[in-house]
Structure 1
Amino acid sequence: MNATIVVHNVSAAYRKTEVLSNISFQVMPGTLTAIVGPNGAGKSTLLKTMLELHSKTTGEVTFLGQPYRRAKTSIGYVPQRGSVDWDFPTNALDVVLMGLYGKIGWLKRPSKADREQAMEALRAMGMEQYADRQISQLSGGQQQRVFLARALVQDAVLYFLDEPLAGVDAATERIIMETLQQLKNKGRTVMVVHHDLQTVEDYFDHVLLLNRTVIAHGATSEVFTDEKLHRTYGGTLRWMRERV
């Protein structure tokens, strides 16, 4: 089985400050991976660099054996909620339809079938009753569900999500994680920037520990250990798992 994501010797910087150093790892299909590390570790920057939203200074990234520009139609991305202009005048259904523009084109009107496909994605996220609601009028959790629906409607092979559980209610967290598990079970590859160490073992089968470089990467049972967490977080680690 070939890796669906290959990152080789990737470095990135903001101005002259290096924020990612010699990042290398491979991700296999049908895996749900948490990207975990302290604040400032480069977690969001890693996703943005992989998806060519931020320039890399060295290295290369391939998806399904191809560079991003050739594989982008197979990729779904959910950015941090705080990075989105929620005052943009559009409703939830139109946001989800944006996920189909790669297929239907930006200059064509969505068909009835396209709109039904978008509605089905909203139904999957429990948001169909808000289809006509302006996104600025939705709660944070509801906004996050809409953006995940936009990614789902793409029917992508690879999914990248940047802290999708940050600041959401318990019901939204449950729906999001159930959806990501379903994608994994269908053989899709999912990578998630995640901040809650207490739920990593419950939610993810693989972990990438990051602090400007890769500290460890692999199955959660092998990587998510006290020793590797201390190497990742150093003196900033304030959480310890309870041993039964």
Structure 2
Amino acid sequence: MTVLSVQKLTVSYRKNTVLHDVSFDIPQGSLTGIVGPNGAGKSTLLKSILDLHPPVSGSVTFFGSTFQKQKKRIGYVPQRGSVDWDFPTNALDVVTMGLYGQIGWLKWPTRRHRAKAMEALEKMGMSEYADRQISQLSGGQQQRVFLARALVQEADLYFMDEPLAGVDAATERAIMAILKELKEKGKTVMVVHHDLQTVKDYFDHVLLLNHTVIKHGTTEEVFTAKNLTETYGGTLKVMKEGVDHVQLITQ
């Protein structure tokens, strides 16, 4: 079953085209890494799919319908750098915000809602920080809190924009364990990812992006030296065939 279909999507910022003629389908129960060079449009792709930035043309359907009709089934973890971490709120409140679709706006969360949020924090190893202001958390702890907020939504389709960027090794392992658990439960996850060394271990599908889709499919089929060279151009040096080792070099 196709849970997400993107067809001929073109996106611009002012007069600059960031994405051109992007098309792909995402199957249910897949864990897909979105991979490409800096400035390739990876974050823009997520924002356009989620109706946060209007496309110039093209279409996006979720479970055969529109975003507005299916948004309760969709979870999103933005880049950590795009969040105002100085906002005066604690970790438990941040996670509880993920339940607003169930609570309803202008209504107070019940004891049941807060218990559910605490359960998600505990799953991410963050229950002891529930009352801690988010500005006082480390980068890895902040990322765990935002993942807990997405988990508490109990979505069917998750989008995550570089959830592993700048986190410690323990947090990276914890996040990937949760993402693989979601996949095993039949959920679908798309992750913007930057570390080529871990792609084969982390994802069963890969979308190679550089302003348009270079290749998309299973990791075994798509994550090859040839396709990576086409995606990254002269900025990529493949150290060993089979992409067991790759090295990014700046020009």
Aligned mates of 1:171, 1:126 — CA distance in 2: 11
Q: What's the CA shift string for 1:219-242, capped at 9, x where partnerless?
A: 000000000000000011145346
Does residue 191 (structure 1) correspond to residue 180 (structure 2)? The answer is no
Aligned residues: 243
Structure 2: gaps (5+ residues): 245-251
Query: C-alpha displacement at 1:160, in angstroms?
Result: 0.2
Corresponding residue of 2:36? 37
Corresponding residue of 1:47? 46
Q: What's the CA shift string for 1:103-154, capped at 9, x where partnerless?
A: 1112111111100000000011000000000000000000000000000000
Letter in 1 for 2:21: N
Q: What's the CA shift string for 1:164-198, capped at 9, x where partnerless?
A: 00000000000000000000000001000000000
> Which stretch shifts more, 128-137 or 66-75?
66-75
Distance 1:241 1:174, change over 3 A: farther
Q: Is the 8 A contact 2:9 2:55 kept in 1?
A: yes
Aligned mates of 2:3, 2:43 — CA distance in 1: 20
Q: Percent identity?
A: 68
Corresponding residue of 1:109? 108
Letter in 2 for 1:68: F
Corresponding residue of 2:247? none
Q: Per the alignment, in what secondary structure is the counterpart of residue 56 of structure 1? A: coil
Q: What's the CA shift string for 1:63-82, capped at 9, x where partnerless?
A: 11111111111000000000
1:66-145 to 2 correspondence within 5 Å?
66-145=65-144
Letter in 1 for 2:83: V
Letter in 1 for 2:139: G
Structure 1: gaps (5+ residues): none
Aligned mates of 1:134, 1:238 — CA distance in 2: 43
Alpha-carbon RMSD across the aligned residues, in angstroms, is 1.0
Corresponding residue of 1:164? 163
Aligned mates of 2:174, 2:105 — CA distance in 1: 30
Corresponding residue of 1:234? 233
Q: Tell me the TM-score normalised to structure 2 length.
A: 0.95
Q: Is the 8 A contact 1:226 1:240 kept in 2?
A: no
Aligned mates of 2:65, 2:144 — CA distance in 1: 29
Q: Is the 8 A contact 2:164 2:193 kept in 1?
A: yes
Q: Which runs of 4+ in 1 moved over 2 A?
A: 238-244
Q: Per the alignment, in what secondary structure is the counterpart of residue 240 of structure 1? A: strand
Letter in 2 for 1:159: Y
Aligned mates of 1:8, 1:242 — CA distance in 2: 32
1:17-28 to 2 correspondence within 5 Å?
17-28=16-27
